[in-house]
Amino acid sequence: MAGTSSTTAEIPEDESPEFPATNYRQPADELGPRAQRTIARIVEATREVFLTHGYSGTTIDEIARAADVSRASFYTYFPSKREVLFAVGVRAVNDTSRLLRRLPTAGATIVGLREWVREYFVLLDAHGAFVFAWTQAAHEDEAIRTAGMKGHLELSREFGEMLAESAGKPRSDTTELGVAMFSLLERSWSYAHLYGADLDRDALEESATACIWGAARQVPGKRR
């Protein structure tokens, strides 16, 4: 990921959407294996706490307890809650971008798109906490909103372009299409997570698939 020192990124930097850099207390390439394991534990714990309490409801003490580290250990690696949010986001954005690049092939058939939607819901099982923590934080923190907006819109444009390619229908509103489809998937997943057995997740995924299939093949209207 361009401009970030995160130790969690797994795909080449020049292939990832732009995302705010994680400002560790020391350069990532100077961290030993033990420090990297501690960082990974903190990041995973943060994801779990965000899912339960959201961004504003999460404290450093709660993250430290969930990660089984001291408050001082947290600050050894991260200067603030904002920075660990960025670290959580790096993996989420990379994994999402990787899945999007499979969409032109997967989305060419309704069966393939259905499987892709299932995989996206599985991805949200891991990263949904970040999605909603980021949205909440962006409403409350202008710096976070500004830092993340470009990357979010770029990822949305990529989603829209991949959908248009899968449908064989070029269009000019790919960013808007991507924002709408991300919103559909994320909100559907959030209700499946919130309501549990009271919602049939398979049926929800089927409905989301039908919506995406139709939207990708609809001729967009003229912009005003």
Give the distance, in angstroms, between the CA of residue 205 and the centroid of all CA atoms in the same chain.
Answer: 18
1 in a structural domain: no
pTM of the predicted protein model: 0.80
Dist CA 8 CA 74 (whole Å):
17
pLDDT beyond 60 at 175: yes
In a domain, 65, yes or no: yes
Q: Is 110 inside a domain boundary?
A: yes
Per the structure, the complete domain to which residue 203 belongs is given by 13-217
In a domain, 157, yes or no: yes
Instruction: Please report the pLDDT score of residue 59 as a whole number.
Output: 96
Asked whether residue 50 is domain-assigned, the answer is yes
The pLDDT of residue 185 is above 60: yes
Residue 7 is assigned to a structural domain of this protein: no
CATH of the domain at 83: 1.10.357.10
Give the number of domains in the chain.
1
Q: Each residue of 74-106: pLDDT tens digit?
A: 999 999 999 999 888 888 889 999 999 999 999
CB atoms within 10 A of CB 170: 9
Question: pLDDT at position 116, please?
Answer: 99
The residue assigned the tokens 């032109």 is 104
> Is pLDDT of 176 > 90?
yes
What integer pLDDT is reported at residue 6 of this predicted model?
35
Q: Is residue 2 part of a domain?
A: no
Residue 3 counted as domain residue: no
Where would I find the beta strands (DSSP E) of 14-130? none
